[in-house]
Structure 1
Amino acid sequence: MEGQATAGSVARILLPPGIYVPHELNGWVRLHPRVVYRLLFHSVWQTLQKFARNPKRLNGELGATMVLHTWGQKLDQHVHLHVLVPAGAWNKQTKQWHPADSTYLFPVKALSAGFKGRMVSALRHGYEQDDMPNITRNGEVNRILEESMNKDWVVYTKACHGKPERVLDYLSRYTYRIAISESRLIDTVDDGVRFRWKDYRDGQHKVMRLSGVEFIRRFLQHVLPKGFMRIRHYGFLSNRYRRVKLAEINEVLRHSKVYENKTTPDEISSFVESPLDPKLLWFCCHCNLFHLRNMPWRRMFLESLAFFRI
C-alpha cells in the first residue's frame, strides 16, 4: 500500500472484518470460483450502497475497500471478505458529508439479511443464465439455495476508533499474504506435513498433520483464478473517482466545526514507525491475518485519511 495523508480529511473508519459465505456453497466455489467471488464482491457492495443511500440512514455514497480471503486456520475452505469502510457517506448533490451516528455503520442483522437475499438471488440468476455450466442438477441447486436462505449469514462488524492511519498501515502488511505462512510449517514426517493452527473454540495453538497430497489439495484451492483481483475499491474510494471525490470531501471537512483538533502530517508519519500494543489488538478468527487496534471511542473522527493506493 502506498499512501499520502492530508490533514482534515474523511471520518473514522468502521471495519466489518468478516462477511462470510456459508459452507453449503463451497461446492459452487470449487466449480466456479471466478463467478462466485465476483458475485460476492458485487452483492456486498450493492447491499452496503442500498443501506447508505436510504434517506433515513446516511443518504449518500459510501466508499469501501474489500479484500477476499478464502481460507481458515486449517487450510479449509472459508470464503469471506474483509471490508474497510469510512464511517459516513458523501452526497454529491448537496456536497455534504453525512457521518455515521453510532459505533456500527448499519444494523448487523438487517445488513446480514440484505446481503443473504442479494447473494442468493445473484447465484440463482447466474445459474439460470448458464454462467455456471458445471452445476447441472436443478433439484440440488434449489435445495442448496433454500438451505442457504434458511441460515443466518455471518456479518461481523466492529469499529476502529481514534487513529485509523495505524490500521491502514497494519493492514497493508498482510494484504498479499497467502493461505499459510512459512512460520506455521513445522516439518515433513514420512509422507505428511505438520503445521500449527489456532483453535478458536478453546484459544489453544495446536498441530495438524496432513498427507502431502491433502496438504497440496487444500493449499491449491486458495489459488485464485488467473487475473482475478482480490482487492477492490468502491464508491468514493474507487480508482476512477477517488482523487476527485476525496478532494471534495476534504474541502467540506476542513470547514466543519466537528473537526477541531487537526492531525499534522508529522503525527501521521510517526504512526507508521510506532509499534502497536499487542494487548489492544484483535483479529479475524478465521484467516488470522487482519489485526486491528481498538482505540478510545471519544476520538470520533479521522482527520487524516487521504489518497492511498493498494
Structure 2
Amino acid sequence: MAEPATLQQALYRFLHEETLDGHRRRVCQHLKACRTEALGGMQVQCEACGWEQPWYHGCRDRHCPQCQTRATRLWAERQQEALLPVRYFHLVFTLPHALNGWVQLHPEVLYRRLFQVTWDTLRRFGQDPRRLGGELGMTAVLHTWGQNLSQHVHLHCLIPGGALLADGHWKPSRGQTLFPVRALSRRFRGAMVAALRRAADDGVLHRVTRPGEIDAVLDRLMATEWVVYAKDCLDHTPTVVDYLARYTHRNAIRNARILDIDARKVAFRYTDYRDHHRPKVMRLEGEEFVRRFLLHILPKGLMRVRHYGFLANRCRRTKLPRIRSALNAPRPDTRDASEGRSEPATYPCPRCRVGRVCVLTVLRPRPNRTDIPEHRR
C-alpha cells in the first residue's frame, strides 16, 4: 500500500504546473496538508514500551481518501434510528456518458437534476395504485467515478421495500424487484431529457455554446436505452446500515488501492466489471492520475447524500414511528452507540500492541506558504 504522502506529491506537482479554479485548489491544499505538520497534532508516547511519534490531524475534507473512515462510522450510528425491519432494495440510476462534457461545464445543474428526476421517477412509481399506492422512502448517494477513475455519474438509491399508505398502514413490496427496471429506465430517460430541455430554454446551460448541440445530443439520447440497475435485495439485518455507509462516504480512490508511485506513473488496483469483474492493475502518468481524481471534486455546497419521502429529515420523526407501529416493531436501541461516542478515545500502541498511547504535548500547525505558487497567493 502506498504511503499517504505519495498522493500529496502528485498533487504538489499538479498545483505548480496546472491552472485550477479556486475551489479545486483549496481541496488540493487540504489533501496535501492532511496528516502533516501543516495542520498540527499531538506528540504521543506508549506507556509500556516508550515508543514515541507525532500524530498529525486530518483535513476532514469530504474528498480526502484518508479522512472518511470516522465520518462513515458516525453516519452509520446516526442512521440506526431510521432502520426499519423490512427488505431493502438497491437501485442505480446512471447518466449516459454523452452528458459527461455537460457535467464538467455545469456540474451543479446536472447533479441537482439527477437527484430531482430520480426521486420524481421513483415517487410516481410508488404512488401508482397498481403498484404500491403510497409514499416511498429513499436515501440517494451521488457517485461520479468508475473503478478506473473515469467519469461515470450515477446515483445509488437505497429504498425500504414498501410504502406508507395514507391511512397509516404499511404496504410491503412483492417479488424480487421493487419496480420493473425497463419501465423505470424509460421513465427516467424521458424525465431527464425533458428537465435538460427546460434548463436549456431557461438559459441555465449557457456554457454549452456549439450551435444545435443541445437538441442533437438530447434527440440522440432519447433514441438509446438508459441504464437503471437493480441489485439483489437486502433482508433486514444489523449490517444494512453498514451497507449504506459504504456508499455514502466512498471516494474516487482509497490509498489502499494505490500500489506504487514512481517518478512518472501511478499504479492502482481496479475491478473491470465489463470483463467478468476481474481485478486488474492500471498505470497512469502522474498528471493524468491527478486530472482524473480532480474530475470528481464536487461543487462547493452540493450535498451528495440526500433523503426523500418518509426518510426526509423534516418528516422522519413523525412518519417512522407510524411505520413501526404499523409493523408492530420497536424502535432500534441506539444507546450503546451514543454512549460509546461520549467516552474518551484511547489507542493501543502500534509497536508493542500491549500498552496504550498517551499525549505528551500538542503540536502547533506549521503551514508551508511556499507550497502555494506566487501568482495564487
Q: Return the TM-score normalized by structure 2.
A: 0.65
Instruction: Count how many residue pairs are aligned between Structure 1 and Structure 2.
Output: 261
Q: Counterpart of 1:12?
A: 87
Residues 27-38 of structure 1: matches in 2 within 5 Å? 27-38=101-112
Amino acid paired to 2:143: H
1:60 maps to 2:129:
no
The 1:67/1:150 distance shift into structure 2, 3 A limit, reads: same
Over aligned residues, Cα RMSD in angstroms?
Answer: 2.5
Identify, as 1 or 2, the structure richer in strand: 1
1:96 maps to 2:169:
yes
1:125 maps to 2:198:
yes
The 1:243/1:195 distance shift into structure 2, 3 A limit, reads: same
Q: Deviations over 1:193-238 (max 9, x none)?
A: 1212222214332221211211111000100000110000000000
Residues 61-210 of structure 1: matches in 2 within 5 Å? 61-92=135-166, 94-200=167-273, 201-210=275-284
SS at match of 2:212: helix
CA apart distance, 1:241: 0.3
Q: Which moved more, 1:166-175 or 1:40-49?
A: 166-175
CA apart distance, 1:4: 6.8
- Aligned partners of 1:66 and 1:231 also within 8 Å: yes
Structure having the higher Rg: 2
How far apart, CA to CA, are the structure 1 residues paired with 2:279 and 2:294?
Answer: 24
Q: Deviations over 1:82-108 (max 9, x none)?
A: 10011111123x222111122111111
Amino acid paired to 2:133: N
1:51 maps to 2:104:
no
The 1:22/1:54 distance shift into structure 2, 3 A limit, reads: same
- Aligned partners of 1:68 and 1:81 also within 8 Å: yes
Instruction: Find 1:26's aligned residue among 100, 103, 110.
Output: 100
How far apart, CA to CA, are the structure 1 residues paired with 2:110 and 2:201?
Answer: 14
Structure of greater relative contact order (alpha carbons < 8 Å, 6+ residues apart)? 1
Q: Deviations over 1:249-287 (max 9, x none)?
A: 111221xxxxxxx78968xx8xxxxxxxxxxxxxxxxxx
Q: Which runs of 5+ in 2 are unaligned?
A: 1-74, 337-377
CA apart distance, 1:134: 0.3
How far apart, CA to CA, are the structure 1 residues paired with 2:152 and 2:96?
Answer: 8
How far apart, CA to CA, are the structure 2 residues paired with 1:164 and 1:149?
Answer: 40
- Aligned partners of 1:191 and 1:212 also within 8 Å: yes
CA apart distance, 1:190: 2.7
CA apart distance, 1:67: 0.4
1:247 maps to 2:321:
yes
SS at match of 1:169: helix
- Aligned partners of 2:86 and 2:235 also within 8 Å: no
- Aligned partners of 2:324 and 2:330 also within 8 Å: no
CA apart distance, 1:8: 10
SS at match of 2:170: strand
Q: Counterpart of 1:219?
A: 293
Identical pairs, percent: 50
Amino acid paired to 2:316: R
The 1:173/1:15 distance shift into structure 2, 3 A limit, reads: closer
SS at match of 1:198: strand
Q: Deviations over 1:25-55 (max 9, x none)?
A: 0011010011100000000000001111111
How far apart, CA to CA, are the structure 2 residues paired with 1:146 and 1:15?
Answer: 29
